[in-house]
Structure 1
């Protein structure tokens, strides 16, 4: 199988596997006071310091939890309740569902006024509209790299505008860490979500980076293990593996970005040649290096994914999938695509295991997959 779905999850790095196995052999709750507990606590705190250092944060700003979804929920709901539970939330129309659904839940259940700022045809947020919505808002949020099309947002500029308006700002940086220069301390953000399994760490561990003065309320109550903002026994092995993967990513990021971008450019060019009427977006179009996205008129995402899978190429539509059914992409509709086009997309996402052979296989299978998907659509 030629795996080109790294934006969904990335194969485990050997360094992360080794770190996980070493920590998993330890017995003890990191909150216990006996020697075994202290040994596990040392693993957790070492991982916390390494994660913070790799992301430009102090160790005390790293809240360990289960991944990006929990981090986004804690940030939005925690800031909302921490700031009094009333007012306006400013976000973008292309956020990950972990952000958008949290914001909509607060609108439905808590009476939040929700402002979804639009984007242009490239997926870039309207900075002036975002800035204009900030005065008096309770919180703001914008993702660093879009998980579907790879569009990179001007996070520092948005965060500066939020700070000037006195509004705490969250950022989902889950897709950004591998290929963008993510520095929490320099970003001006109040909170930031990251996840291990998008960078070669294990599934089930991530972090919310939160400034010490972030006005957060907890979602989970209990032992208060993580700054009293996230209760539950900390996953020491997961944290150690996360730190190992993250350190490798940061150390190799510039070189790996150039390598992956070259592969992505070749893939994007090949898609345009094979399917001339496709709308293709890649690094040359302002997207992150690891995402190549194509809207293919007349071919359903579901059909293309199944046909490519049968040819040994694993890709995604990028949009939400529930019970095996690909939904229309809210991201593509916000970018100006029709509802039908928003269900006619395929996302190729590259990563640390991607080779020229993977790109070759995808291009060799693509034209036939598109032709057959279009033919199946005409027969309905």
Structure 2
């Protein structure tokens, strides 16, 4: 069972404060469904910018939008017409009131490019992610891990149905969606690159290695990565640099954000397949990191820590320049504290430490370090999490 989408109350609040609200996130994540079910204060009009008929209505955008200036105008797939941002800026400046525009996009503001400057100070962005643990039942954590959080994958009637949806999503994304976002290149190369990233889950990103394996240039690899990252398929976790005199790893770590897509890209069809794969630990690590980032959100900055001497920490939660939590992620029922994790806590001056593993409760391992289940950790950090 799926609960109400976590972002709902915040989206309603933003619409009462800002002239334009951008709801961004990957395709098929439920943005349109969510917005169509909002309780808006005024009448709304919805335009899908992938439809030729709706795009034609905006041939004279100023005239059309002024005709509907007393309504909330919902523009879906806004990245298809980035030239609209300049027009929206003028209209907002003429009549600055909350809730005038809702912009839905399948790309980050940086990838859309023109939006960040054109609507600066007039728009607030929210990201709608695939389902996370705050939106499903506690006993369905393995289902969420295997299938991922895309609604049609998670809610499929069977494992086969879920897998077929993900296979089709990957195919459509490579052959169609990337081109619509502006990446016009060989789909076969992009698919190979994406699958290579999946097999490198949780590893350091070394662009030269991918370029050599694919027979392309490093700038081309970085361009592919820019689009996968900007369309919410890939997470780049940056290294943390405290003021210590040690040789630190400088490259980011790379993760396929949705665990279901990760499993499909690596040929894993079921839980039984996964637990017998070398990838299982890295899959669990990426799943935990994604759940924490999605549930806890903006109050924290997220990093990893690693030195060339062997000290390592999978995830740091940083707030106001201080490391609030250092996290080690283990696919085990019997967690132990490593020497490298203790050193990481000392180096980063972390206030607390946690070993997040496959247990369902929590207990202290030593002072300031606990063994915790993922659900327990999120419930502890976000008191409204389980409500």
Higher-Rg member (1/2):
2
Q: How does the TM-score come out when normalised to structure 1? A: 0.27
Bigger fraction of residues in strand = 2
Q: Which has the higher contact order (CA 8 A, sep 6+)?
A: 1
